[in-house]
């Protein structure tokens, strides 16, 4: 049976000590998901097993929310650690609560935000720990997509590594209960930590500060950290364009620089009219339009003519997602002939490397003279796929050996440091999750900033949106912001 709750309010100092005692805060040497070693590890999920601590933390968060200059009508906890905290606040103070889903249901309302709300209402975001602020921002973006206004966020612990500044640059004011420096002071005074341990953590914090232009790494608990290793040089789009010898990769990077966009829309609709209408609406926000021409039920050559005209109008390239996977002589004919004549209108196509180099040679024989290019499928986003490990390594080697025609990869993360090779990642939405058919979704921040990819490929997040143009704008901004975050 749980111990009865003490009615006297727990001081912040006592709360910090209790968090340490239940190992919600640990000090030592911890390898994070990013591979770097950290002297401090914070995991507040454990407090759900300590009701008294859970309640006290929620009360301090509520107190911090009273400093908000903007009147909020509801609150939303960042999934998943902050959900019980938000629930405690909501029940104690009779405050309406919203829940942000990490994935949409494939039945019912299919909503990403659960709960009752009015368009334009103001919502307070609740979080446990902030390092970069990216988790708060992702929740805020999901709320804003549902026409919910976010101006403030409350957090128990600010690690003082730049998260508050980043959120401020996005128009969100962070109100923290405690800083990591305060926590260190309390633990040193209470003799929980020694002087050398304190200095290790302070040094780590100082070396891992970042701003809106710095790189971010994510650890296993959902917290984020900047790598304290010396970062490799990140080339901007314009510099990379100057390093490319293939005219397609050069043009694509120039478009990305000019339009400030790393967004590719996957126009997977089944009628020509629907595709053309969608492309005309989202065209100003994208660098690539990806098609599956063989799913069109009313295809005629007029479709590709009009698509090419839209590409010129809105300054984007066309990527036919054909996934060639046969011997060279067969793909040569599939690429150049048939009813689709892909090589005549698609700037880029793609291929599996399973058949070996012959598939590249067959495509190259047609495409090279037409200033076309190919990307190889090195990794996939579906559950249980076999494109990984040795397969991915062999695919990279093939690309490097055919760099006159192969300009990059379909992948889940950066596979090579060669700045002339582009990395394109599908399965991107503003919130993480999985659909009913095993498609895994990851966020623009995870794809571009954390995994080092170059282009986000978005399908249903745009095609199923009520306003595809507005959705494309949001993805464009999120993707470009994630790109900027790679630079010191």
Whether domain 237-484 has CATH 3.40.640.10: no
Considering 326, 344, 418, 435, which one is annotated as catalytic? 326
The average confidence (pLDDT) of the chain is 87
Of 189, 56, 78, the residue nearest 125 (C-alpha)? 78
CATH number given to 12-225: 3.40.50.2020
CA distance 412 to 426: 8
pLDDT higher than threshold 80 for residue 416: yes
Q: Which DSSP string corresponds to 412-475? A: SS-----TTSEEEE--B-SS-EE-TTSBEEB-HIIIIIIT--SEEEESHHHHTSSSHHHHHHHH
Mean pLDDT of 158-172: 88
Q: For residue 370, indicate whether it is catalytic.
A: no
Kindly report the length of the chain.
Answer: 488
Answer yes or no: are the C-beta atoms of 128 and 461 closer than 8 Å. Answer: no
Mean pLDDT of 260-271: 97
Answer yes or no: are the C-beta atoms of 405 and 370 closer than 8 Å. Answer: no
pLDDT in the model for residue 231: 36
Considering 209, 305, 323, 388, which one is annotated as catalytic? 323
Q: Which DSSP string corresponds to 118-181? A: -TT-EEEEEEEEESSSHHHHHHHHHHHHTT-EEEEEEEEEE-SSSHHHHHHHTT-EEEEEEEHH
Half-sphere exposure of 188 (CA within 13 A, CB side): 15
Lowest-confidence pick of 8-22, 51-65, 375-389, 411-425: 375-389
State what percent of residues in the chain have pLDDT above 70: 86
The residue ranges of DSSP E strands in 258-387, in sequence order, are: 263-266, 288-291, 317-324, 348-352, 373-377
pLDDT higher than threshold 90 for residue 328: yes
CA distance 279 to 296: 15
Q: CA of 57: how far to CAs of 48, 127, 291, in Å? A: 11, 11, 50
Mean pLDDT of 107-120: 79
Domain boundary assignment for the chain: 12-225, 237-484
Query: In degrees rounded to 5, what are phi and psi of residue 126?
Result: -110, 130
pLDDT higher than threshold 80 for residue 451: yes
Answer yes or no: are the C-beta atoms of 143 and 113 closer than 8 Å. Answer: yes
Query: In degrees rounded to 5, what are phi and psi of residue 419?
Result: -70, -15
CA distance 422 to 248: 11
Answer yes or no: are the C-beta atoms of 285 and 256 closer than 8 Å. Answer: no
CA distance 9 to 471: 46
At 279-303, the pLDDT tens digits run 999 999 999 999 999 999 999 999 9
pLDDT in the model for residue 431: 74
CA distance 198 to 193: 7
Q: For residue 290, indicate whether it is catalytic.
A: no
Mean pLDDT of 243-248: 92
pLDDT in the model for residue 210: 55
Q: Looking at per-residue confidence, does 111 or 149 come out higher? A: 149
pLDDT in the model for residue 3: 41
CA distance 396 to 62: 51
For 474, residues 6+ apart whose C-beta sits below 8 A from its C-beta are: 141, 144, 145, 430
CA distance 64 to 76: 15
């Amino acid at each position: 049976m749980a111990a009865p709750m003490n009615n006297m309010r727990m001081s912040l100092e006592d709360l910090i000590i209790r968090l340490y005692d239940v190992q919600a805060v640990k000090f030592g040497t911890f390898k994070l998901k990013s591979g770097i070693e950290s002297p401090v590890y914070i995991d507040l999920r454990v407090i759900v097993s300590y009701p008294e601590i859970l309640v006290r933390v929620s009360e301090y968060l509520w107190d911090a929310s009273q400093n908000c200059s903007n009147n909020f009508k509801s609150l939303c906890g960042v999934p998943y650690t902050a959900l019980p905290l938000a629930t405690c606040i909501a029940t104690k103070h009779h405050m309406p609560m919203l829940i942000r889903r990490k994935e949409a249901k494939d039945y019912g309302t299919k909503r990403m935000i659960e709960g009752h709300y009015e368009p334009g209402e103001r919502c307070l975001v609740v979080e446990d720990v902030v390092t970069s602020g990216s988790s708060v921002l992702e929740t805020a973006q999901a709320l804003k997509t549902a026409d919910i206004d976010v101006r403030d966020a409350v957090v128990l612990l600010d690690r003082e590594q730049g998260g508050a500044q980043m959120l401020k640059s996005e128009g969100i004011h962070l109100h923290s209960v405690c800083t990591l420096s305060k926590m260190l002071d309390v633990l040193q005074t209470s003799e929980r930590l020694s002087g050398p341990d304190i200095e290790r953590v302070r040094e780590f914090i100082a070396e891992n500060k970042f701003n809106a232009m710095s790189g971010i790494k994510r650890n296993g608990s959902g917290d984020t950290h900047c790598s304290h290793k010396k970062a490799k040089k990140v080339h901007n789009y314009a510099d990379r364009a100057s390093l490319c010898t293939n005219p397609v990769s050069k043009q694509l990077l120039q478009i990305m620089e000019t339009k400030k966009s790393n967004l590719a829309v996957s126009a997977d609709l089944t009628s020509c009219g629907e595709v053309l209408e969608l492309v005309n609406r989202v065209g100003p926000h994208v660098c690539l339009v990806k098609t599956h021409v063989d799913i069109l039920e009313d295809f005629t050559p007029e479709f590709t003519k009009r698509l090419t005209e839209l590409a010129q109008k809105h300054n984007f390239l066309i990527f036919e997602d054909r996934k060639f996977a046969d011997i060279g002589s067969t793909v040569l004919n599939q690429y150049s002939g048939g009813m689709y004549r892909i090589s005549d209108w698609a700037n880029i196509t793609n291929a599996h490397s399973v058949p070996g180099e012959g598939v590249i040679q067959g495509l190259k024989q047609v495409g090279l003279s037409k200033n076309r290019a190919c990307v190889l499928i090195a990794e996939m986003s579906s559950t249980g796929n076999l494109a990984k490990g040795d397969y991915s390594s062999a695919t990279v080697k093939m690309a490097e050996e055919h760099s006159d025609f192969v300009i990059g990869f379909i992948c889940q993360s950066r596979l090579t440091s060669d700045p002339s090779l582009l990395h394109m990642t599908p399965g991107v939405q503003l919130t993480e999750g999985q659909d009913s058919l095993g498609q895994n979704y990851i966020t623009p921040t995870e794809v571009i900033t954390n995994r080092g990819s170059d282009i986000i490929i978005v399908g249903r997040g745009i095609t199923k949106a009520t306003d595809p143009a507005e959705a494309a704008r949001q993805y464009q901004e999120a993707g470009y912001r994630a790109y900027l975050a790679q630079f010191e």
